[in-house]
């Protein structure tokens, strides 16, 4: 009997879905620990159920801060106009006006092979390099922080080393960009940048890479383009979620609703009146572009099953050969942000670009 139980356990460990529930269990243990302290719990409840709803009555736009946390300008003390400080010495900082009164801070990194030539060059030189035939990536980042965050710079370096251009905007309200974030606003910003890139890049491939919240912006943008009869050359979705409504206790944008049941009773849910939806699952059904999902099995914010679910939706909506999911072993410890460090990533990306 004992031998039988042990054998079952071994079999279970080999099953990848049990790894996932293992990870979920760890999450639950982690989220349970604050409850051990009664004082912290009472204080948190006071803030969540009294102060926050009260503040929201006075300033309803505070909801944006909970979802986007865009005012947390991590990393601190970085001059966004000087990307070279982050050893991006072939990157120019520029500002684009996506809409009247909305100025977006954007970094353009050219292929690494041009780094010497790029020294001291102006905006015009950078723009001219866009139509030299190298693929161009637009990287749409997640919530919190700026385009200078380590994992975002990390992705730009990987792409640049592969010989690609990378444009990384801070959406309205983020970094040094003006305005306030809204779902429609973020999508407008991405769409504007895409059209700006297309106007300068000739026949080069243009790929949109979204990470986390940026996967929602990316698929929103793809659907807007489909409505105009344009299919993106390729889309990469890293750490994708299905919709802001998804009940994940550790949801990157709405965890407070799922962690503290009843929160929605006291103050408006972000998706009420369709203010924040990011309907990625619905978007994927409409998209007609090659899609590469990248996801870490130990992603602590969006469980890997969500990516698998999204992969199924996208694959059944179009030719399954055009949709791929690459997952990274949980033992690598990449969590939600770290897969740019994977030594196999450049090959995975090169293969995807060659297939376009
Ligand atoms: C500039 O960046 C390139 C590519 O990352 C690197 O190889 C080179 O050493 C850097 N040069 C300087 C002077 O920092």
Out of 84, 85, 86, 87, give the residue to mutate to test ligand 1, the one with the largest number of ligand atoms within 8 Å of its CB: 87
Q: Is 347 an annotated catalytic residue?
A: no
pLDDT for residue 23 is more than 50: no
| Residues with a CB atom less than 6 Å from ligand 1 | 89, 112, 115
Please, what are the domains in the chain?
39-68+251-274 (no CATH), 75-250+275-354 (3.40.50.1820)
Position 264 confidence tier, pLDDT thresholds 50, 70, 90: low
pTM of the model: 0.81
- Over residues 324-341, the pLDDT tens digits come to 999 999 999 999 999 999
pLDDT in tens, 166-206: 999 999 999 999 998 888 999 999 999 999 999 999 999 99
Question: Which of 170, 189, 298, 299 is flagged as catalytic?
Answer: 299
Give the model confidence (pLDDT) of 208-243 as tens digits. Answer: 999 999 999 999 999 999 999 999 999 999 999 887
Mean pLDDT of 276-300: 92
How many A from CA of 115 to the centre of ligand 1? Answer: 7
* Residue 62 structure tokens: 């505070």
Ligand 1 pocket test: which of 85, 89, 109 has the largest number of ligand atoms within 8 Å of its C-beta? 89
Residue % of the chain over a pLDDT of 70: 75
Mean pLDDT of 282-299: 96
- Whether residue 248 is predicted with pLDDT greater than 90 in this model: the reply is no
Q: Which protein residue has the closest C-alpha to ligand 1 atom 1?
A: 89
């Amino acid at each position: 009997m004992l031998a039988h139980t042990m054998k079952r356990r071994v079999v279970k460990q080999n099953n990848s879905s049990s790894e996932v529930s293992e990870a979920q269990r760890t999450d639950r243990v982690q989220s349970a620990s604050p409850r051990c302290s009664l004082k912290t719990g009472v204080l948190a409840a006071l803030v969540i159920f009294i102060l926050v709803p009260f503040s929201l009555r006075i300033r309803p736009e505070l909801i944006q801060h909970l979802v986007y946390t865009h005012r947390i300008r991590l990393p601190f003390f970085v001059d966004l106009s000087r990307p070279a400080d982050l050893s991006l010495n072939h990157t120019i900082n520029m500002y684009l006006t996506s809409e009247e009164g909305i100025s977006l801070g954007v970094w353009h990194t050219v292929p690494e092979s041009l780094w010497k030539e790029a020294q001291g060059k102006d905006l015009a030189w950078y723009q001219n390099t866009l139509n030299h035939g190298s693929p161009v990536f637009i990287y749409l980042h997640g919530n919190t922080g700026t385009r200078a965050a380590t994992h975002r710079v990390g992705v730009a370096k990987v792409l640049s080393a592969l010989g690609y251009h990378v444009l990384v905007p801070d959406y309205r309200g983020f970094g040094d960009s003006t305005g306030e974030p809204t779902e429609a606003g973020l999508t407008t910003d991405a769409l504007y940048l895409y059209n700006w890139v297309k106007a300068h890049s000739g026949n080069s491939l243009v790929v949109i890479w979204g990470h986390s919240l940026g996967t929602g912006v990316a698929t929103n943008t793809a659907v807007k383009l489909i409505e105009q009869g344009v299919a993106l050359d390729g889309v990469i979705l890293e750490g994708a979620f299905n919709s802001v409504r998804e009940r994940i206790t550790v949801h990157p944008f709405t965890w407070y609703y799922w962690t503290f049941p009843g929160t929605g009773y006291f103050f408006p849910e972000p998706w009420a009146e369709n203010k924040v939806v990011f309907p990625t699952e619905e978007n994927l059904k409409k998209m007609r572009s090659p899609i590469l999902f990248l996801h870490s099995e130990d992603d602590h914010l969006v469980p890997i099953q969500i990516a698998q679910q999204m992969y199924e939706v996208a694959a059944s909506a179009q030719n399954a050969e055009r949709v791929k999911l690459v997952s990274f072993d949980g033992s690598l410890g990449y969590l939600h942000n770290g897969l740019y460090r994977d030594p196999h990533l450049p090959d995975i990306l090169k293969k995807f670009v060659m297939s376009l």
